[in-house]
Structure 1
Amino acid sequence: MKLRKVTAAAAVVLALSTVATACGSDDKNDGGSSSGGGKTIKIGIKFDQPGIGQKTPQGYSGFDVDVATYIAKQLGYNANQIEWKESKSADRETMLQRGDVDFIAASYSINDERQKKVDFAGPYLLAHQDVLVRADDNSIKSPSDLNSKKLCSVTGSTSAQNVKDKLAPKANLQKYPTYSACLTGLQNGAIDALTTDDSILAGYASQAAFKGKLKLGGFKMTNENYGIGVKKGSDLKAKINTALEKMVSDGSWKQAVEKNFGPANYKYEPAPKIGNIVQ
């Protein structure tokens, strides 16, 4: 009887040891995390910018989504291993610093202040501040024509204020809570122009509801170098740069641009060279 008790106890110990070994052997890639027994990668994107990053009942779509998916594949992750996380503009640095995400692709302009807190791969797109106007409005041909016009400013944004301060001091700023509200105002004549990055504006103008009704001014008022944000000191930066270079060389980058912005006749810049920040 004593021998049988010892044998039973040993079997329990062996079983527990086997479970512990299995739990500790998750296959993790660099920058990835374990979830539900399989490796995953957490990527921050915008959820509310058509053409850039948007969450819909059908899934996730936009240029940043396509870029991030390509990068993830080069890092060893399939699309079903990606966990998409909403990255609002004010939260991006904190999300990276806390490790909430492995990287962020969310119309994330590289600037000196942000580079003090996080690292950037890229840039992967050179955008410019521009305006969106009604297609039949030929009165706005340059930034100075915005004087006396009703210019939409999304609450918390500095884009419209920059135009008023530097280019059109007599512009009549109209503050709306969202870009969608600005678009409604643009359609019904409550405002004359909406301003933010041309890539974001092109994404909105590419929507079926606005096809042929809106157009970009093409003013290129600022340079916005979009980068992939990573945690300070992360070795993902070099790996993502390699992935971005491949995306350009194999034609996938151009295909993604034309797919997401093409309907707006967006005159996009050539793919920027890695590390080349246009001031």
Structure 2
Amino acid sequence: MIPLAKSKEVQAAEAGNMPVVALESTIITHGLPWPRNLETALLVEETVRTAGAVPATIAVIGGVIQAGLDKSALETLAQARNVSKLSRADLAPTLATGGDGSTTVAATMICAQLAGIACFATGGIGGVHRGAETSFDISADLDELSKTPVTVVCAGAKAILDIPKTLEALETRGVPVIGWRTDDFPAFWSASSGLPVPLRMDDAETIARAHRLRGDLGLEGGQLVVNPISAGHEIPYLEISPAIESAIEEAEAKGITGKAVTPFLLEKVLEATQGRSLEANIALVCNNARLAAEIAVALNRLD
């Protein structure tokens, strides 16, 4: 039996046939500093509610998948230290040992599906890291998108990645990449990476129908909806690129690898941009949560 618990709010949503949006928890434990992490988690959840859906922040606590966290649990998680960062490979061992952990995109997708949640909002997906031709550092997020039937709303791939290779890997895995009212593939802090997005959709109802039809066709996996950061909050790609390149060089020089790479690079970019990347990160997550809620509402109407 899978150890899975749902918050009272999520249970009430299910009982009342209300749409639910899954939210990941690594942004709380690894993405933002205290107390901005808690403030952001609460803000993102309220954004989902305002848009007509119910938030379900997902984490593993005491060996149990929690679909939905109350304010007390969010506060505890936000102040916790040395929290495990769980992806597909770590989920079952952590449940078996009764451990705690925050969920990445891949793990959140798995848990969302188990909880019956079809739509998930995050910041940016993981992908193919620069230099992957020698390091083979490719995020499990890409394979999960090809396996698990959840619609993921993000601001594109993290700008620290090799975005052309990430797009190619998504195409190879048969993952639909849908631009929300854009023809450009966004790059997290930047509205455009300079690369075209494979598909474009301009309304939540069409995205919801595509989600349903993918299941009806018997196709594995989910779909990726890329939502550009708003113009007032973005850092143009050419402007932020030097900070990214410098951070990557420093990570290589220090021998930082695996799961430690992304947090290290994000911290270095934060320093280089004097905090602008943090504000952009918060803005784009809220923007994605709002769109995910709209899609969840549209999906709910199809039921």
Task: Kindly name which structure, 1 or 2, has the bigger radius of gyration based on alpha carbons.
Answer: 1
TM-score (norm 2): 0.30
Which structure has more helix as a fraction of its residues?
2
Which structure has more strand as a fraction of its residues?
1
Which of the pair has the greater relative contact order for Cα pairs under 8 Å at 6+ separation? Answer: 1
